[in-house]
Amino acid sequence: MSARTVHPGVHAESTMQDSDQAQIDALIAAFFAAFDNRKGRAPDPERLARMFADQAVVAMDQASGCLLYTPEAFIAPRVALLKSGELVEFHEWEDSATTQVLGSLAVRTSRYAKSGVRNGDSFTGSGTKFFHIARMAGGWQIVALSWIDDA
């Protein structure tokens, strides 16, 4: 198994294929960028859906327990919110990450931050996302995503 800690602008040595790391980095960067509605950007639900493998699952931690979603059930309300005007100047980004690859499977733990304006009030936040990724016929795709926001 190979592990690589990724920090913006820093490249670590790794025994995993550099092309695998580059593809995983691009997938995760595209995922975070998909939820950016600054300067009139609009999320593309079809592009987001293509990031997920068939039968993927999304899990979100909340006070009452874990909520499970299909990718479509996860994507649709977030795209609607980002297009509604209720949440503006929103974006989230990966602060740091660790990626482990074993064969055609990978796990990435991402620390992220987010900011935006909801109903006129600015906010910031942070949390952790866990991506389970698989190398499929068309490239790396998310097979499971789970996350928890910091308190």
Q: Using one digit for the tens of pLDDT, what is the confidence trace for 10-48?
A: 333 344 578 999 999 999 999 999 999 999 999 999 999
Q: What average pLDDT score do residues 66-83 get?
A: 96
Would you say residue 140 has pLDDT above 70?
Answer: yes
This prediction's pTM: 0.86
pLDDT at position 29: 97
Would you say residue 9 has pLDDT above 60?
Answer: no
Residue ranges covered by each domain of the chain = 2-149
b/e code 130-149 from CB counts within 10 Å (16+ = b)? ebbbbbeeeebbbbbbbeee
Amino acid at 136: M
Q: What is the mean pLDDT of the chain?
A: 90
Q: Higher pLDDT residue, 8 or 99?
A: 99
Q: Class for domain 2-149, per CATH?
A: alpha beta
Say which residues have a Cβ less than 8 Å from residue 147's Cβ, sequence separation at least 6. Answer: 59, 60, 61, 127, 128, 129, 130
Q: Higher pLDDT residue, 15 or 70?
A: 70
| C-alpha span between 22 and 53 (Å, rounded) | 19
DSSP 11: -
pLDDT at position 18: 83
pLDDT at position 2: 40
